[in-house]
Every structure is written in C-alpha cells, then in structure tokens.
Structure 1
C-alpha cells in the first residue's frame, strides 16, 4: 500500500501507525473536510477465500461499523465513516494523540503505574463500558492495547466494531484454521475459553485482567505458553494484588479480584456497580498518597551478569493453590498446578555465572530485537534462507554484546537451527540445537521448558536423519521430564508423546506406536475436543499405523472421520482436509475398492489443481494415486500415460533424483512390465536403482527394492543367471545394511 493512497477519492493514507491481527491503522487526511483522521484497513482475504465467507464478512462489517459509529461517549473512539475501496474494507476514526496502556507500561519499564492513575483509568473505562453495555454491545477483546490515554488524561476504548466483527464471524479461526476462540489469551474470560455464552460480564473479567496488569506490572497469569495462560484463567485463583505491591488499597484489590471471578454470576452485576465500588475505593485516604510509593528495584547480585541489574521478583503470577502432598487425582481434571516450570518442593539449579562484560550501548538491544523479529517474519513467509542469515548475524552480535549463554543469544541460535532444518541442512541443525540445549541447561536447568524444547527439536532432526534409535532415546528422556514437571496432560507432554509414537513406528514397533498414538488422541480429544486440529493430527497418525499393520478397514474408517472433521472445522478445500482424503483413497485401493479410489482421486486432482496449480507437488501426488488405481483396474495404457506425464513434470519441477520423481519413474516401469514391454521396463528400473544407490546408499531399503525390481525384470526377459546373481547380491546387502532407515519416498505413497 503506497504512502499516499487515496480511498474513495477522499481519505489520503499518509503514515502507517499500527498493525495488528485484523489489519493496519494509517494516519490520514480527510480531504473533503480538511481534518486529520485514523483509517483502519482490514486485511484483504485474497482470491483463494471462500466467496460466501467474503460476502458474509462484508455484510457483518457494514453492520458492526454502523453499531460502532452509533456509540457516542467521551470514553469511546469516534467512528466517522466506513466503506470499501477496491475490495479493501476500512473504518475512518478520530485520530487519537496519546499512548495505549501497553505502551504506558513499556514507557514505565514494565513497572506498575501509580495507583491514582490506575484508579482514574479504571473509573473512565468502567463508565464507558456501562454506556456500551446499556446499548447491548459487548467488546469481547478488551486489552491494554485497545485502551488509549490521551495527553489530557482522557481514556478511550478502541476497536468496538472490529472486535465484535472478529468474534461474530470467527474471523481468526477461519483465516488461521486453528478453531481457537476470539480474544487475547492474557485477557480472555473463562467462558470465552470454553466457548460458552459471552455477555457484558466477560468484558468485566477482561477489564479485571487489564487493571491487574497496570497495577502490578504483569497480567494475572503471566506464564510461559498460551495454553498455561488459558488454564490459569479457567482453574487457578489469581494472587492478590497486594502480594505484589502493598500500597494498593484493600477495597480496590477486592474489586479487581471480584472482576476475576471464574463464573460470571460471581462478578459485579454490571459496569455501573463496578464504577460505584471503584469510586468509593478512590476516596479512601490511602489512595491520595500513592504517587510517591517507592518502586526502586532490588540491587543485583554482585556476581550475576550485568543484564540482571534492575530485575525484581514478584511480577509472575503462578496461582495460589496449596502445595501438593500427594499425586493429583487424575479424575479431577486440569488444575493450574502444572503451569509452574518445576515441581513444587524441588530446588532450583545452581546459578550459572557468566563472565562479566560491559553493558552494550543504549539502543543496541532494541535494534537487535527488531532484527530478530524481522528474521521471524521472513520465516513465516517461507523465506528460510534469508531468515537463517538474519538470525545468524543477530546471534553473533548478541553473543558479543551479551555472552554466549544469555537467553537472547540462545534464542537466536535456536532460530538458526529452525532455519537450517527448514532448508534441509539437518546435520547442521542438529549441531545448532545441541549447542542451544547445552547452554540452556547451564543457565536455566535441564528440566526448564526452553531446554526441553531444544532437546525435542534435536530428537526431531535425528529422526529426519534416519537415526531413529537416538531420536527414541531423546524423546523418552524429554517425555519423562515433561511428565514430571508439567504433568501428563500438558500440551507439550502430549506433543512429545505424539512424536514418540511416530518414532516407534519408524523403528518397526508398530503395535506400541499404535497404542501410544491412540492414548494421545484420546487425551487430546478429552482436553481439546474431538475436532481440535491437534487431536486430528494424532488420529491421522493412528490411521497410518493401522495401515502399516495391515488393518486397512480400521485405517479407512479413521481416515474418513479425520477428513470429515477437518472439512467441518477447516473447510473442504483446506490442505489438511485434502491430505486426509488422499489417505482415504490409499485405504480404498488397499482394500481392492479401486473404482471408489479412482473417483476420489479424480475429484482430488481437480481440488488440488484449483488450490495450488497443475505442477504443485500435492497435485502431482493426487495424480500419482489416480495412475496407481488405473493400473489396479487393468487400464494399463491409461496408467502408463499418467505415470509418464507425472514423472516428466516431477523431473522438471523437483529434479531427476528427487524421491517423488523416482517413485513415478518406478510406476512407469511397472506399467511397461504389465504391458509386456520388459526391455523398456528394465531400463526404467535400472535408472531408479542407480539414482537410489547414489542418493541413499546401496544398503538402503528403497535401493534394495529397486534392485529386486531389476532382478525380477531380468527373470521375465529369460536372463536367469543375471537375475539369480542380482538376487544374491541384494540378500547380502540387506544383511550388511540391517537397521533403522528413513524412507525417502514418504509414508503415504502407494506402490504398484
């Protein structure tokens, strides 16, 4: 979007001043009236978006914009106009000169705001909410970033229409395919988290989270991951404000804790009731002296590195449940206990003492943080080579400025490992993750969540390298630590168990793999819901293992359930839905139901072509399945033509030695053999075998399979002596190369 783009011939966009999940905010000029305004432009959905969904979005946008424009209150941002320009939906609002509450906390170095300011903000927000709630309007996404304080002290709530729009149409879920509830985790009410009925009391809960944060410096559940935050909201009582700072009036503390009640009926009846209580708290004498409360940080330990200076304790809320005296009852459901980073009663690891180094120049750390963010953005765009270069440079500069074991340095090293992994440099990625694991274990301890995350990445890369025995050992060790520190049902624990199930399958321990995957799927269904994406990923793994065990009827049933659930949650054209449908076709073919498989693959080829184009690997994968089932139906001329076409495109797009290209070339040879053209088939089989020897090694199972194909072809040509000699060589190589291998062709490909 250019800096001087003109919307509807009236609103000239001049400067980007904000960007969020729903779109961008621009400083602009209304050239008709000659006034400065802010214009919020919603993210365009792109040509691939469902047309019905786009139509619904436009209608809801117009409705909610009218609602927002009708709100007239000094504490609510004024909406002047709204419209659509070249497919871009926009809102025109008053231009506010001030800082939002998140920025005020940043300006204050994350120290809490003076209590008289906190009380003043609470009064003004409660007054604005009382007005909107009387109109029957609920904000649904109240958070510090949506509350502005102007230069004259006026407080205004922003984004009423946008927040409600996102909630009503499930904007976030439809765009990301996650199915998560609308809202920001640190400020979501328990009823939002559980998908229950949301009314004005949900806004009151979110306001309680905001007031807690500006009064203490941290949200009520400031934990390590989003899931822990959500469970904290649902199950864990917040620590009293006065345990963080003693100068908060007791009456104000009580009002905030009442706002944070787990059930709506336990909260204040409405914002008017809250306003009366806050106003009463502000009149107490203690509130008048709060401006002068001391906030001096404790002196840093003389032997700790410079970056610990100024750090204080007490801003991390971890719940107030009593200490565990016995293992928790598994029937009691989730609690907040597992959200702590180590078990209660265990000692912290001894502190690591890095060498002293001078503090970096002012602004250096902020500059490096910005470059780190740019690297993450490049990764999200799939530009992994560039992302890796950025993270390597930032890691080197952070190491020089902060030391090799500083958490920021190790975070950059971790991202270098991720980029190496995404670009296929698995051995280099393994070394990088190993360095991060060792550094985090020294600084944070071996059982810290960040240390375990790096170790889990090591296990994943070991699996990619075909070193499944080592991967299994690391996954088992990480799983023990996860279970011990955060519990068996924590998402990180279940993710590790899922990966362990995958690894067991690659080790040939199929029954164990299947049982483990079934247990994880059941736990995820219980905790997240039967149609949550994570649940469906594990059920997909269950289906794959059932197929490996030859239980194709069970596999077909499970794949179908996954495909149907993904279609409901993500849409029929979502890549994950199409992937499950592909495996339905695989199962049908294995069960001899090739007529049904053929029709499914024809439909799938059309869907993949529309979504990705004719040369996309997934489109070609669907065409490969189509060709395999043509052969199973005895339609070998058609099967051969399909295999040759797919092979040619794969060779051009992926390269002649790519595993997918070699699978297609083998399918060409199979077709030639069934048509009695054994001499041509022998040439194709030999090309596949030579390429696999070159790429995978002569003892790899796929290479040995190709040599067996070649021997079979020699036999069909009457060259018995050569065939017997080759069979003997394959048997000897198989003995030499016994052990776990990575199957290059991929688990989901069907052979002929």
Structure 2
C-alpha cells in the first residue's frame, strides 16, 4: 500500500519510520483536502485505541498530494518472513501469536474499528517475542466507501485472507477479522495459505465455496482442539464463527505455555524471536540492549532527518540537501519496506521542501532490493496526532448534510455567547456554570455549541465531543428533556459522535432523536427517517449486520408510503442499496441481485450512465453476479 522509510527525529533524538501511502490506490474523492481530512480522522480513531500490540503514531499529514504517517520504528520480523524461516512454525508459537493478536482485535473491535486487512505482512514479531499488528485503518483511508472498488479495480484487502462476506460485498465486520486470523493460523501451522489459485478472483471464489484441508493432514502434532478452532474461524457464514476475539482467546488459553519462574531463562538472549516468551516470562526485562540511534544527518534544521544506516539489514543510503524548518521531514532514507524487500537509493529534497510544516520533503530514487528486519504501520499513540491542518473536518455543526453519518447540524435561534468569543472547552465543567437571568443556562449552552463548532473547524473532534457531552446533562437539568435548546444540543452531539466514529456512543442518541422526531411529526418526517437511517448505519459499522438489515428494511417499507412527489429519490436509492448489500453479506446474494438489478436501471435513468454512484453500483452488481454461484444457497 505504500513505502516505509526509516528516518530520524532531531527534536527527540530517536529513530522513527515514515510511511508514504500510494496515492494511486486511493479510490475515493480526488479532492485532496477531503482525502486529508478523512486520513486524519482515521489516524485519530486508531490513535485513540490504547493497546501495546499496536504501533505508536507520532504525526500524520499530506505533502504534495501524498499522505504520510510518522510512526514508531520497530525491530523484528513480519509474520510472513517468520513463517518462511521457521517452517514449520511450532504450534506453540502459532498459539502464542494468535493469542496476542486476539488481544489487539478485542481492543480495536471495542472501539469499534475493523482492521479489514489482517495478513502476515501486517503482523510483526519483535525480538522479545511480542506481537504488533500493523496498518490499522489504512484500508478505510484508501476508500471511504468500502463497498466500492479502488482505482486499481480491487477491493481494499488481501484475497488470500479475505472473509467470504468481504469478498462478496466489500462489507467487513469484527468476525471478518476473525476469519483472517483463522487464515493466519492455518498458514502458520500448515506452511501455506488455506486457499491458493492462479488469480485473485479464483482465490476469492475458493473462500466462498471450498473448505481447507484439516490442519491434521499437514501437521499430525497439532492438538485437535487447535485444529477445530482454526476450522471454526474459517466457517463461511459469520454467525458460524466464534462471536468475538475474547471467545477465540478463551479457547487458546488451555494451549498457552505456563508462566515460568526461572530468572536466568527470562534474561537469556532471545535471538529466535520466540512469541511464547512474553507468556512464559511475563513482565521480564529485555534480555538484549537496544541499538543506540545513529547521529542525525545534520545538527540542526528539520525535525526529521535521514538515518545513515540500518543495523537490521546493514543497508546504506545517501541523503542530500539542507534540512528545512522545525516540523519538516527533510529527507527519509535507507528503507522503503515492501513485499519485494527494501528499496535503497538517494533521497533528494523536493522544491520548496522547507516551506511547509509537517511536510515530507524527500522522495526516493534508485533501485535494488534486500531483506530488512524493520517494519512499521499505523496505530495508537500517547502523543497527539497532528491536527493543525487548517481544514474543516467536513462535519460542521453549522452545515448539516443528509449524505451520511457524521453530518453536522445547524444550530438555530440560540443566542451567541457574551462578547462573541466561545468559551475555552478545556477543563470546563458545564454543570457547574451558574444560571442567571430569565433564560438560565442559555448562554453556556450556546457557548458550548459555538466552542464545538470551532473545534470541529479545527478537526478537534474528540474535544468537541467532550464539550457537547458535558453540556448536555446540564442543559437537560435546566431546561428539561424536550426543550428545543436541548434537542439542538443532542443533535449536535450525535452528529459529532458520528464524525468521530464513536458509533457505540452515538447509537442511543440517534435512537432517541429518531423516536423524538417520529413522535413529534410522524414516522415519515424527513428528520425522523434520516436519524433512523443513521441508526441502521451505526449498527452496520458496529458489525451488527442482521440488526442493521432489519432497520433498513423497516425504513424502506416506511419510505414506500411517502407520495412520489414528496419522496427523496436519493434517500430511497441508498436504502435499497444498503439492504441489498447486507443481504449478500448475510448469505443471500440471489435476493441481493434481484434488488440491485432494478435499482441500477433506475439510477441510470435518474443520474446518467457515467455518474460515479451508478458506475460503483454497476461494479458491485457485477461482483455479486460473478460470485453468487459460488456462495452457499
């Protein structure tokens, strides 16, 4: 999905990694500002997941149209190389790796986030045996609508590890990640992926139809319980797999090695990158000294400079050009890590490299490949992800849109804060603000909304949520649940939660709003129906596919009662498309096709043959038609 370069942070005197995402893989909008906002949003979501099995992100942004991440630099080996070097992988190692991955998946699914592209190259085993999961959120960045194809004509993800429902529709839920985990476990134990074929499409079709050989046919030493667990993870229907990562971990525990009390063994060198070590020697000190970072390429100037050498692979690169001002990555060198190996060449600053804070100024040239034992990717961070882009988050309180989850809400008829300046949200206890005058609490609610709007404009979504979430209980206490001011505040909170991808927290707010507007104006009220649609969308994001399908069906049945001259055509199109795709995801591609065919014809008449929405829907229909014969009837 891109290149990874080893670099040096001059400010904090440490090595870092810079990942450049390939712009040609981005299948969504060509609007670079929109792409950057979406990219930063995904970075914030993943950075908010606190787990040691994820990689720390230090910075993120865009430079001359290319997205970049500055991340923790890891020493170790990715799982693909480990499998190649250790074949066959001891089954105890496979269990230890899977258990650590389960811990990571449990954390990200609770966020809720779906990885979408769990594969051996995205799992690293470090020298101390700990496991890191890489590239969290990257698949979502590459395409905002995961049911659409990327610009290269493929869905985000890797065919060899893609769950049947993801292969068929592009929709992924937590149990899709568990299917990918089953593929990883199978490959570790059997020495090969569960399904292989000459083409990517043929591999996907095998995921839909075939059952892999039992592990025992390749590895008689593998315990039967482990063989059964892998088979359960590779079930075709999501509901037939273990429900959660916690359930998988529970079944792995009896197979894990017991903790030892041998200090000498715990402190012995661990050159084999044994993934059972963290389980046998929990909390043991590192048995080897970390490498001392090399000196910066320049004594001052840009924050990120190139490192002259990598200890892991002994690879060298040349950095040319002067460093820019603080915050500029003046050059990154030594390793562009990819599936073919490490790309080594010369880094030359691009024109104007010292002019923009946070920009990546160097680009690679040259050729060659070599093995490099370093890999990095996106993950959580104790440091702040860069947000001072100057761009709106695209989800402003002052501009509500019905195009999807996270749209902002316009606040009307609320007095502006005194003095015209918003209150500082940091540390503000809105419930403690004293009421005054005939409209108690009016100004502080307005100030909260104004402050949240400002924070959204600065892409500070988490802070905006905190401001609105703290203001809502105080507003309810002062005005009552049904006061218009409280309703406006609740709408703003729900919209901001969606923008921040806090779907679990947004769901009850959306249900309340849908019910409130339906009670006040009837179930066919546009606001009531929009919030009901967002409820279904939230359920879909949370992996509650069957519940989401029920919501969409009920909403479409209600929509059909609206007179044709008052019905929102595009709203109806969306309901039908989501219903069809979820039907395919739960194992009924025939009914999905019967809905998508007429829908495509209607959209072609209404929007034109070459409208992007029509083209994407046509691609989806062709995909389902091409694979439906392979799906279980």
Normalization by structure 2: what TM-score? 0.41
Normalization by structure 1: what TM-score? 0.35
Report which structure shows greater RCO (CA 8 Å, sep ≥6).
2
Judging by fraction of residues, say which structure has more helix: 1
